[in-house]
Amino acid sequence: MPSITKPLIPLSPLPKNELGLTIRDYEGQMSTLCAGCGHDSVTAAIVHAFWELSTPPHMIAKLSGIGCSSKTPTYFVRGAHGFNSAHGRMVPIATGAIAANRELTYIGISGDGDSLSIGLGHLMHGIRRNVKMVYIIENNGVYGLTKGQMSASADIGSRPKKGTANVLAPIDPVSTALGLGATFIARSFSGDKEQLVPILKAAIAHNGFALIDVISPCVTFNDHEGSTKSYKFMRDHEVKEVETDFVPIRAEIRAKIPADDATEVTMHDGSVVRFRSVPAGYDPHDRMKVEEYIRDRESRGEIVTGLLYVDESAKELHEMNATPTHALAKVAYTALCPGAAELASMQNDFR
């Protein structure tokens, strides 16, 4: 924990976004994580993404479960709503909140323990329901808060700081999500904001459950020689063949940026995600091919990063359930609570 709060320095021309806010307005409290934690870099990337998108802070809801990762919503967008739920239970809380108010931008921060061990069932159902939220797994392969046991995402052969190498097969969130039919799947690295920030923006624009697996090294318990989730290992094994640009809808209208030979995906709100430097034949819409490509790379010991799969045609939770178009708070009371007669007739349908 730093000795001081990051001071507000009154340098005159701090750049402002469309809302007139500076990037400092999107920060939160001082991080209490270990110095050098990958999670803090993810936090900084989130700050950048929301600031650049000019998302009003009060229209953001941040959710989390338990773990080092789940502490981080405190460290960004201090003006946002938030819910720090029980271990692994962030998805049900988020689903409830989203059902009640679909107008906010939801961002959930989880870790490999919170998502792939105790909360795996909820994660799967979040994917299944295509709940419209950004879901970040800050993945470091280790249980940091309990002092360094190997987690469910630890690779076979990865060595903890003390003790023997891991022998259990890892649960890979990316292939798990592909298998479950997720509609937005990305993997990135906390040490690479140039990649992570556009992915975050695309995830925020996505119409459904946007999963981002961020390899986020634990400097204290998993950044040593023999770890497969260290800064060094990622830098040696990351393959960034799938590069992502995010072009917000407004910028596209203004600038008409030439598309080159990039693959483009138009998002629900009209913004564009542009895939550059993709390998020949890579189709971010083809679930089978993406899975094959990732497995092929994996077998060569490479970790593919980038926005790997996206499907903008799928319906999200509200569309599937034909729920009201506005937050329930804005629905007239008589419509929300139509009375005993309506209830009786509804119950009749189930008899």
Partner 1 sequence: MEPTNDQDPNYYHKVVDCQWACPAHTNVPGYIRMIAQGRFDDAYMLNRESNVFPGILGRTCDRPCEPACRRDRVDGQPVAICRLKRVASDLKGDISERLPVIPTEKNGKRIACIGSGPSALTVANDLLPLGYEVVMFEQFAKPGGLMRTNIPEFRLPDHVLEDETQVILDMGVEVRYNTPITSLRSLLGEGFDAIFVGVGAPRGKELDIPGRHDEADSHIFIGIDWLESVAFGHVTSIGSRVLIIGVGNTAMDCCRSSRRLGGTDIKVMARRPREYFKASPWELEDAEEEGVEIIVNHAPKRFVIEDGKLVGMEFEVLEWDPGARQSTVLNSVIIPCDDVILAIGQENAFPWIERDLGMEFGDWDMPVVDEATMQSTLSGVFFGGDAAWGPKNIIWAVAHGHQAAISIHNLCSDVDLNERPPQGMNLVSQKMGMSEWSYHNDYNPSPRQKMSHVELTKRFESLDLEVELGFSLEQTVHEVQRCLNCDVETAFNAPACIECDACIDICPVQCLTITSNGDEADLRARLSAPATNLDQDLYVSAPLPQTGRVMVKDENVCVHCGLCAERCPTAAWDMDLFDLQIPYAASANFIRIGAMSPSGANRGN
Q: Which positions lie near partner 1, rule CB under 8 A?
A: 1-4, 6-12, 34-38, 40-41, 43-44, 190-191, 193, 217, 219-220, 223, 231-232, 235
Q: Give the number of other Cβ atoms within 10 Å of residue 74's Cβ.
A: 17
CB of 40 to partner 1, least distance (A): 6
Show Cβ contacts of residue 25 under 8 Å, excluding neighbours closer than 6 positions: 51, 57, 79
CB of 223 to partner 1, least distance (A): 7
Task: Please say which residue, 139 or 183, places its beta carbon nearer to partner 1.
Answer: 139
C-alpha closest to that of 140 among 210, 49, 224? 224
CB of 56 to partner 1, least distance (A): 23
Task: Please say which residue, 75 or 309, places its beta carbon nearer to partner 1.
Answer: 75
The tally of CA atoms less than 13 A away on the side-chain side of residue 154 is 27
CB of 235 to partner 1, least distance (A): 5
CB of 258 to partner 1, least distance (A): 22
Task: Please say which residue, 24 or 268, places its beta carbon nearer to partner 1.
Answer: 24
Give the Cα separation of 68 and 146 in Å (integer). Answer: 10
Q: What is the CA radius of gyration of the chain?
A: 21
Task: Please say which residue, 7 or 20, places its beta carbon nearer to partner 1.
Answer: 7
User: Largest alpha-carbon pair distance within the chain?
Assistant: 69
Give the Cα separation of 72 and 167 in Å (integer). Answer: 30
Task: Please say which residue, 12 or 334, places its beta carbon nearer to partner 1.
Answer: 12
For residue 119, which amino acid is it?
Answer: G
Tell me, letter by letter, the H, E, C secondary structure of 165-218.
CCCCCCCCHHHHHHHHCCCEEEEEECCCHHHHHHHHHHHHHCCCEEEEEEECCC
- The Cα-based distances of 170 to 101, 104, 117, 232, 329 in angstroms read 36, 34, 11, 20, 43
CB of 142 to partner 1, least distance (A): 15
CB of 147 to partner 1, least distance (A): 17
Task: Please say which residue, 93 or 196, places its beta carbon nearer to partner 1.
Answer: 196
Give the Cα separation of 278 and 244 in Å (integer). Answer: 9
Task: Please say which residue, 43 or 130, places its beta carbon nearer to partner 1.
Answer: 43
